[in-house]
């Protein structure tokens, strides 16, 4: 019986969408007035306040690495213990490489590829693109030390691809 139900369901979707397209141009009889009255609802009310909610578990933050050779957002502020994840959303790969001299005192060095110094990260990249984060993949780091970190993308540093994480 479930097979019949599914077929009917799929059939319903097919016909429904066809009718909907036709309905846009011809029949505004029943739905026209409905559309007009629903504009009373403020579209802004759809936004929830959940993004500002405090969670008991580990906080996370995300940064996109784009084909425009940018970290988006370029500057983020997180609290200690936050795991930041960088994801390459375009087709061009990137690195997350912290400037050794632009991390807070006492903070451990980090870079995509797991290098423990900026020089090692740059050498690793030139020896077969180690530390490269290709399309659809991510790199994460958890920030434990307060202060500002500046980082860059090895292949796109000259294009100004850099970003900041401020840990408060
Ligand atoms: Cu890059």
Residues 132 and 85 placed together within one structural domain of the fold = yes
- Give the Å distance between the CA of 68 and the centre of ligand 1: 9
* pLDDT at 56 (0 to 100): 55
- Give the Å distance between the CA of 161 and the centre of ligand 1: 6
* pLDDT at 35 (0 to 100): 39
The answer to the question of residue 36 being in a domain is no
- Give the Å distance between the CA of 80 and the centre of ligand 1: 26
The answer to the question of residue 37 being in a domain is no
Residues 3 and 81 placed together within one structural domain of the fold = no
Q: What residues are neighbours of ligand 1 (ion), with CB under 5 Å?
A: 94, 153, 156, 161
Tell me the C-alpha distance between 121 and 126, whole Å.
9
* pLDDT at 39 (0 to 100): 37
Q: Which among 122, 54, 127, 67 has a CA at the least distance from the CA of 93?
A: 67
- In this prediction the pTM is 0.67
* pLDDT at 97 (0 to 100): 98
- Give the Å distance between the CA of 69 and the centre of ligand 1: 5
* pLDDT at 58 (0 to 100): 83
Q: Tens digit of pLDDT for each residue in 27-77?
A: 334 443 333 333 343 443 333 334 444 545 789 999 999 999 999 999 999
* pLDDT at 4 (0 to 100): 40
- Give the Å distance between the CA of 1 and the centre of ligand 1: 54
Q: Tens digit of pLDDT for each residue in 156-167?
A: 999 999 999 999
Q: Tens digit of pLDDT for each residue in 72-129?
A: 999 999 999 999 999 999 999 999 999 999 999 999 999 999 999 999 999 999 999 9
CA dihedral sign, ordered 102, 106, 107, 110: positive
CATH number, domain with residue 115: 2.60.40.420
Residues 79 and 17 placed together within one structural domain of the fold = no
- Give the Å distance between the CA of 55 and the centre of ligand 1: 32
Give the total number of structural domains in the chain: 2
Residues 89 and 144 placed together within one structural domain of the fold = yes
- Give the Å distance between the CA of 101 and the centre of ligand 1: 20
The answer to the question of residue 12 being in a domain is yes
Residue with tokens 């309905």: 23
Residues 62 and 126 placed together within one structural domain of the fold = yes
The answer to the question of residue 8 being in a domain is yes
Q: Which among 149, 141, 153, 140 has a CA at the least distance from the CA of 167?
A: 149
- Give the Å distance between the CA of 117 and the centre of ligand 1: 19
CA dihedral sign, ordered 70, 148, 121, 144: negative
pLDDT bin (cut points 50, 70, 90) of residue 14 is very low
Q: What is the maximum span of the chain, computed from C-alpha positions, in angstroms?
A: 70
Report strand pairing: 162-167 vs 75-78. Answer: parallel
Residues 17 and 68 placed together within one structural domain of the fold = no
Residues 5 and 63 placed together within one structural domain of the fold = no
The answer on pLDDT for 7 being more than 90 is: no
Tell me the C-alpha distance between 82 and 57, whole Å.
10
- Give the Å distance between the CA of 152 and the centre of ligand 1: 8
CA angle 6/9/13 to nearest 5° reads 140
Q: Which domain holds residue 124?
A: 58-167
- Give the Å distance between the CA of 121 and the centre of ligand 1: 14
Q: How far apart are the first and last CA of the chain?
A: 59
């Amino acid at each position: 019986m479930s097979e019949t139900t599914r077929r009917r369901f799929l059939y319903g979707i097919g016909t429904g969408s066809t009718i909907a397209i036709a309905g846009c141009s011809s029949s505004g009889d029943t739905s026209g007035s409905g559309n007009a009255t629903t504009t009373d609802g403020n579209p802004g009310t759809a936004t929830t306040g959940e993004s500002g909610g405090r969670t008991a578990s580990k906080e996370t933050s995300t940064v996109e690495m784009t084909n425009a050779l940018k970290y988006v957002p370029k500057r983020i502020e997180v609290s200690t213990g936050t795991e930041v994840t960088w994801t390459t959303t375009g087709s061009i790969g990137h690195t997350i490489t912290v400037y050794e001299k632009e991390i807070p005192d006492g903070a451990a060095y980090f870079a995509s590829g797991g290098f423990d110094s900026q020089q090692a990260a740059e050498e690793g990249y030139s020896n077969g693109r180690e530390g490269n984060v290709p399309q659809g993949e991510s790199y994460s780091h958890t920030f434990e030390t307060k202060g500002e970190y500046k980082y860059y993308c090895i292949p796109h540093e000259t294009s100004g691809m850099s970003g900041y994480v401020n840990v408060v």
